[in-house]
Each structure stands twice: as structure tokens, then as C-alpha cells.
């Protein structure tokens, strides 16, 4: 099945036909019967490129802003907010009937250059709540879910609570998480408030330690009446690895009454052979195995990749490889579907058939 589809995709590419033709069932069409939301991180540049905008509109029932809603993007100066790009993204999504995830409200990265110059223990709370109030109110009613706090756990920082020694922790203490979630809930009670984290998959001793710390954090947030209603499992995968332990982890999260999104899925193919056909096939296998595990229980409500096309993958700017460039996503540089696309679509169809 995969081979035939891969060949037809290749022939389509050779024929320079847009392989994403109406006849080609899209990811969101395959997922729709199960109610699973599927999509990708997108950028201002991509929504303003006709072919890419068409691909997003056909494939995605939900999108997330990759960078255009981060603090650095929205607040170039302490007294200046610039929503131009983020508004364009939300408008594009609304026009195409696509839900929007907001990313993110509180993170230790992508802080504006002025932040470290003016933030101190006396004003940090105000800086954080002002940012969240202003941004969440600006988009009130337009956001499906917010990544309220991103990547607050780092067990390598050796704290008993597993928290990362981030600027927010250093300036405010662990309470910054409670402040962030409460501020977001006050400004938009309808958005699903999400704690977003990487390093929860695949199975490894390091990732298991992080899973323990995240479950403990979710319990602590609940005890402190901080409305973390969902967990975002980023899912930046690399090579072929086991995922069986995720089922137990998902069960623990479910017992806390916390919803689950796969928020930043991609498969770093660096460990795979250089040959493109082999690499693409192995990447597709990882997508298939991972989505089979994550969707088996029908508990995951949304799956978003961290980009649709290899061309714009963050990994392109991150890795200098001995040979080749990263091919982590469902579409190639020419926006043609890769084996990963067909593997994802098949898993979404299987999830729909389970109902
Ligand atoms: O927009 C500027 C441009 O004007 C400037 O010329 C250029 C050169 O410095 O930088 C551009 O900004 C870059 C931005 O991406 C937009 O391309 C930043 O330097 C760069 O740091 C930023 O990287 C992003 C990174 O988060 C940090 O914010 C990646 O694209 C983005 O994919 C990555 O995404 C993160 C998630 O938010 C959280 N989870 C992990 C994930 C991967 O790191």
C-alpha cells in the first residue's frame, strides 16, 4: 500500500501535478470522522505564500503559531505590542475554518532583548500578568487552546520539584506557574489552558524521569487551583525508538482529568541512512508507530506537526549535517506528500475506524 502510494506521489511530483489534488484525501479529511483535530505549526510567511496557504487550508483543522505569538515577536519594546503578524495568522485561520492554538505565554526562550535589562524580582509578576492579560484578551474567543507555560521542567537542574532554573523561577519562584495559568483563565475562560513540554517521548530513563516530574507538576498545579486543563506533548522524535511506556503515562495524565494534545510532532531523521527513499521510509515508520501508540486509546484530541514542509523545519537551522538536509515532515521542499504523509493519513483513518 505504502509503496504504491509512494510511487504515485513520486509520479505526481514528476508530472509536476500538485500532488495535493482534491482526489488526494487530506490529513484533516482522514481524521474528521473521529473528531481528531490535525494540523501544524505555521508562520506569517507561509500563510502569505499562495501554494503553502492552500496546503495549510486543505490539510489542517488546527494550526499553531510557530513564532509569531512569542513574547519577542509581540512585544518589541516594553511599551509596544505589535500584533500585525499574529492577527494575520488568526484571520487566515478563521477564513479557512481552522482552529488556532496560541504559543506561548510564558517561556524561558524567545524573550525580547529588553527583558533581561529591566526584569527584576519586584516587577516580574507584573511583567508576566501584563503580558498574559494583554495578549490573551487581544485574542479572546479566537484561540482553541493556549500553551500557557512552555518547558518549565528540567530534571537536569537537580531541583526536588524538577523545575527548570528559568528566569521566571529565579525571579518569582514556582508560583509563576500558578500566576500564569490564573491570569490566562481570567482573560479567556473559554480557551483550553495547556502546559506544553518536550522530552516525554520516546521511552528512556531520562524521559521517564521527566514524565514523573511532569505528573508531579500537574498534581501540584491542581492542588494550587492553577487551571492547567491540558498537557501538550511536543513529540520532537529522533530516529527509531520505543514508545510503549507512553500508554502508562497517558493513563496517569487522564486520571488527573487533564486533556492531551500532540503539539509539535516531527521526526529528526539524522540517525537514518543518507539515501532519501530509505530515510523517508524510515521516518514514515516512526510516524506510523508513534501515532498508533498515541491514538490507540482515543484520548489524544489533537495532533500537530511542527511544520508541514521540510523546507521550513526548525531543524534546518539547527543542525549541520555531514550529508543531506533534515527531512522530518510530511511534505517535501516542493510541498509534495512524502511517505510520512501517507503513514499519518493511514493512522488518522484507523483512529476514525475505531469509533
Ligand atoms: O525573525 C528573525 C529574523 O528577523 C532574523 O533575521 C533572524 C536571524 O537572527 O532571526 C529570526 O528569528 C528567528 C525565529 O525562529 C524566526 O525564524 C529566531 O532567531 C530563532 O531563534 C527562532 O527559532 C525558533 C525557536 O523555537 C525559538 O523561538 C524556531 O523557529 C521554532 O521552530 C522553535 O520552536 C520551539 C517551540 O517554540 C517550543 N518547543 C521547541 C521548538 C523547537 O525548538
Residue 323 pLDDT class (50, 70, 90 cuts): confident
pLDDT at residue 324, rounded to an integer: 83
Are 151 and 110 in contact, with CB atoms under 8 Å apart? Answer: no
- Of the ranges 14-28, 165-179, 312-326, the best mean pLDDT one: 165-179
Q: Which residue's alpha carbon is at the smallest distance from atom 21 of ligand 1? A: 110
CA–CA distance, 234 with 225 (Å, rounded to integer): 24
> Between 295 and 1, where is the model more confident?
295
Backbone φ, ψ for residue 130 (5° rounding): -65, -40
Q: Give the nearest ligand 1 atom to 264 CA.
A: 39
Nearest CA to ligand 1 atom 16: 67
Mean pLDDT for the stretch of residues 180-199: 98
Residue 344 exposed, middle or buried by CB count within 10 Å (0-12, 13-18, 19+): buried
Whether the pLDDT of residue 208 is over 90: the answer is yes
The closest of 139, 66, 63 to 97, measured between CA atoms, is 63
Q: Which atom of ligand 1 is nearest to the CA of 307?
A: 32
Average pLDDT over residues 318-343: 92
Mean pLDDT of 330-341: 98
CB-hemisphere CA count at 13 Å for 52?
20
- Average pLDDT value for residue range 137-148: 98
| Residue 10 beta carbon below 6 angstroms from any ligand 1 atom | no
β-sheet bridge partners, residue 145: 101, 192
The per-residue pLDDT for 318 is 82
| pLDDT tens per residue, range 267-298 | 999 999 999 999 999 999 999 999 999 999 88
Say what the pLDDT of residue 355 is.
65
Ligand 1 pocket: which of 105, 166, 314 to mutate (most atoms within 8 A of CB): 314
> Distance (Å, rounded) from C-alpha 205 to C-alpha 207?
6
Cβ of 264 closer than 6 Å to ligand 1, yes or no, is yes
Where residue 186 falls (left for φ over 0; alpha for ψ -120 to 50; beta otherwise) is alpha
3-class SS of residue 303: strand
Share of the chain above pLDDT 90, in %: 88
Distance set, CA 189 to CA 133, 176, 186, 302 (Å): 12, 19, 6, 20
Cβ pair 47, 92 in contact under 8 A? yes
Specify the pLDDT at position 354. Answer: 76
Residue 211: burial class (beta carbons within 10 Å; 0-12, 13-18, 19+): buried
> Which residue is closest in CA terms to ligand 1's atom 34?
66
For the chain, the structural domain boundaries read 26-354
Comparing C-alpha atoms, which of 37, 13, 113, 1 is closest to residue 331?
13
Q: Which residues are catalytic?
A: 151, 264
Which of 20-29, 74-83, 273-282 shows the lowest mean pLDDT across its residues?
20-29
CA 236 – ligand 1 centroid, Å: 15
Res. 15: pLDDT tops 50: no
Picking from 40-54, 219-233, 236-250, 318-332, which range would have the lowest pLDDT averaged per residue? 318-332
Mean pLDDT, all residues of the chain? 93
Tens digits of residue pLDDT in 25-73 = 999 999 999 999 999 999 999 999 999 999 999 999 999 999 999 999 9
Q: What is the CA radius of gyration of the chain?
A: 20
Query: How many helices and strands in the chain, by DSSP H and E?
Result: 14, 9
CATH topology of domain 26-354: TIM Barrel (3.20.20)
In our burial notation (b when 16+ CB lie closer than 10 A, e otherwise), range 164-195 reads bebbbbebbebebbbbbbbbbbebbeebbbbb
What pLDDT is attached to residue 321? 80
Cα(first)–Cα(last) distance of the chain, in Å?
Answer: 23
> Is residue 320 pLDDT above 90, yes or no?
no
pLDDT in tens, 115-131: 999 999 999 999 999 99
Atom of ligand 1 lying closest to residue 103 CA: 37
Tell me how far the alpha carbon of residue 310 lies from the centroid of ligand 1, in angstroms. 15
The reply to whether omega before 322 is within 30° of 0 (cis) is no
Instruction: Name the 3-class secondary structure at 43.
Output: coil
**Half-sphere exposure of residue 114: CA atoms within 13 angstroms, side-chain side:** 11
User: Is residue 333's pLDDT more than 50?
Assistant: yes
Q: What pLDDT is recorded for position 87?
A: 98
Please say if the pLDDT value at position 1 is more than 50.
no
Residue with cell 491514538: 295
CA 53/CA 51 separation, integer angstroms: 6
Helix (H, G, I), strand (E, B) or coil at 280: helix
pLDDT tens-place string over residues 147-172: 999 999 999 999 999 999 999 999 99
Give the CA angle between residues 31, 326, 51 to the nearest 5°: 55
Predicted confidence at residue 19, as pLDDT, reads 45
Q: For residue 23, what pLDDT is reported?
A: 57
Amino acid at each position: 500500500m505504502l509503496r504504491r502510494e509512494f510511487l504515485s506521489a513520486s509520479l505526481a511530483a514528476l508530472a509536476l501535478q500538485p500532488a495535493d489534488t482534491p482526489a488526494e484525501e487530506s490529513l484533516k479529511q482522514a481524521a474528521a470522522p473521529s473528531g481528531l483535530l490535525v494540523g501544524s505549526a505555521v508562520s506569517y510567511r507561509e500563510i502569505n505564500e499562495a501554494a503553502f496557504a492552500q496546503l495549510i487550508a486543505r490539510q489542517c483543522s488546527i494550526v499553531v503559531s510557530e513564532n509569531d505569538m512569542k513574547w519577542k515577536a509581540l512585544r518589541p519594546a516594553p511599551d509596544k505590542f505589535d500584533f500585525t503578524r499574529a492577527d494575520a495568522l488568526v484571520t487566515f485561520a478563521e477564513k479557512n475554518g481552522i482552529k488556532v492554538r496560541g504559543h506561548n505565554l510564558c517561556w524561558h526562550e524567545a524573550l525580547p532583548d529588553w527583558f533581561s535589562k529591566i526584569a527584576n524580582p519586584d516587577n516580574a509578576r507584573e511583567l508576566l500578568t501584563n503580558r498574559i492579560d494583554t495578549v490573551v484578551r487581544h485574542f479572546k474567543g479566537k484561540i482553541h487552546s493556549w500553551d500557557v507555560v512552555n518547558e518549565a521542567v528540567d530534571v537536569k537542574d537537580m531541583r526536588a520539584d524538577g523545575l527548570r532554573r528559568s528566569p521566571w523561577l529565579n525571579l518569582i519562584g514556582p508560583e509563576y506557574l500558578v500566576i500564569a495559568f490564573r491570569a490566562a483563565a481570567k482573560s479567556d475562560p473559554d480557551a483550553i489552558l495547556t502546559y506544553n513540554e518536550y522530552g516525554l517521548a520516546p521511552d528512556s530513563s531520562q524521559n521517564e524521569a521527566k514524565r514523573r516530574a511532569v505528573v508531579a507538576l500537574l498534581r501540584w498545579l491542581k492542588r494550587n487551583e492553577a487551571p492547567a486543563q491540558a498537557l501538550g506533548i511536543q513529540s520532537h522524535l529522533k530516529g527509531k525508538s520505543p514508545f510503549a511506556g507512553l500508554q502508562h503515562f497517558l493513563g496517569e495524565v487522564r486520571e488527573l482529568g487533564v486533556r492531551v494534545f500532540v503539539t509539535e510532532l516531527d521526526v529528526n531523521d539524522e540517525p537514518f541512512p543518507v539515501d532519501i527513499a530509505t530515510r523517508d521510509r524510515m521516518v514514515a515508520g516512526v510516524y506510523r508507530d508513534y501515532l498508533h501508540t498515541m491514538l490507540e486509546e482515543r484520548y489524544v484530541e489533537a495532533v500537530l506537526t511542527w511544520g508541514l514542509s521540510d523546507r521550513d523545519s526548525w531543524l534546518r537551522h539547527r543542525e549541520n549535517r555531514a550529508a543531506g538536509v533534515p527531512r522530518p515532515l510530511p511534505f517535501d521542499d516542493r510541498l509534495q506528500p512524502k511517505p510520512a504523509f501517507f503513514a499519518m493519513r493511514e493512522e488518522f483513518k484507523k483512529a476514525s475506524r475505531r469509533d
